[in-house]
Amino acid sequence: MSFLPQMPKLIDQFGRTVDYIRLSITDRCDFRCTYCMGEDMQFLPRHEVLSLEECARLVKIFVNLGVSKVRITGGEPLVRKNALWLFEQIGQLNGLNTLVLTTNGSQLEKYAAKLKLAGVKRVNISIDSLKPERFKKITRTGDLSQVLAGLRASIHAGFEGIKINTVLMRGSNEDEATDLVEFAINQKIDISFIEEMPLGLVDHSRENTFVSNTETLKLLQSKYSLLPSTETTGGPARYWRVADSHTKIGFISPHSHNFCESCNRVRITCKGELFLCLGQDDKIELMPLLRQHPDDDAPIIEAIINSMKIKPKGHDFDLKRAAPAVVRFMSHTGG
């Protein structure tokens, strides 16, 4: 493969530098979380999914274009056969400062130590409830004890950062906000609350289940001494430090506090679709280019650079719409 010398950084039409990619390596998952996918999902045939070699090639191209942070997502990335190989291939790339995994935690007991050796620096684990029966209801198939075992394995492996990701939904788990924060404090890890996003057709009204992070922050401020922080992990979360603890609380608020003005990221689906915004349909198809030019990266590089011209200013989420902002499920775009 050939690389162009002195490749430019990725700067969009609004002057924002893109230095962070989120790459989904599978649309499959062993959970069926109610806010993420339908109960009876139809998954992609293998030939429509990027090979792990193609995933590695794309990451190398983006890193050569100035991307310094890569997050591997799914579906559940660790259910992908030989996924560890990909982490080993990209974990030591020159110029890649941060390799992160977003996971449901089901496979971490087996893979945490190996992922740390491969170069993964941080792990985000989705935990929406600490009550086993409720956890099973939200995930439809998940086993909380298995996830907690994965969390313990991750703590033991010694990642630079471990964070719980939680989506609060009214009538489901909104009463667990303080319990989840207390759990994070006791485990000496971080937690982020993510507002439910209107992606994909689900079996509930998101307007009725939506819990604003403004509401959650107000609740937590009544229980804890929270100190505003300028810390960042390179993503959209805004953080608060819990006084006298090792824990910070992040809030990802696509509805109540739009963060588009500082967007530094793009997403690549397991089909090789380069989405320029989570909440818009603007995209570039990279898979055909990868397969038409197996030994020449120049066409892929040109397409990625040109894609910056169509990166939108921001998303347009509106919970009052009858239809979702984007019909594709979160599991399609990458968690």
Report the distance separating Cα 85 and Cα 59, nearest Å: 14
The verdict on residue 21 lying in a domain is yes
The verdict on residue 158 lying in a domain is yes
The verdict on residue 195 lying in a domain is yes
Q: What percent of the chain has pLDDT over 70?
A: 86
Structural domains in the chain (count): 1
Residue 4: per-residue pLDDT: 45
pLDDT in tens, 97-139: 999 999 999 999 999 999 999 999 999 999 999 999 999 999 9
The verdict on residue 246 lying in a domain is yes
- Greater pLDDT, 331 or 81: 81
Would you tell me how many other CB atoms lie within 10 Å of the CB of residue 179?
13
The verdict on residue 1 lying in a domain is no
The verdict on residue 8 lying in a domain is no
The verdict on residue 6 lying in a domain is no
The verdict on residue 325 lying in a domain is yes
Expressed as residue numbers, the domain containing 308 is 15-333
**What are the b/e assignments for 156-177, b being 16+ CB within 10 Å?**
ebebeebbbbbbbbbebbeebb
pLDDT in tens, 209-247: 899 999 999 999 999 999 999 888 777 789 999 999 999
Residue 64 DSSP label: H
Report the distance separating Cα 106 and Cα 88, nearest Å: 20
pTM of the model: 0.88
pLDDT band at 253 (very low <50, low <70, confident <90, very high): confident
CATH of the domain at 143: 3.20.20.70
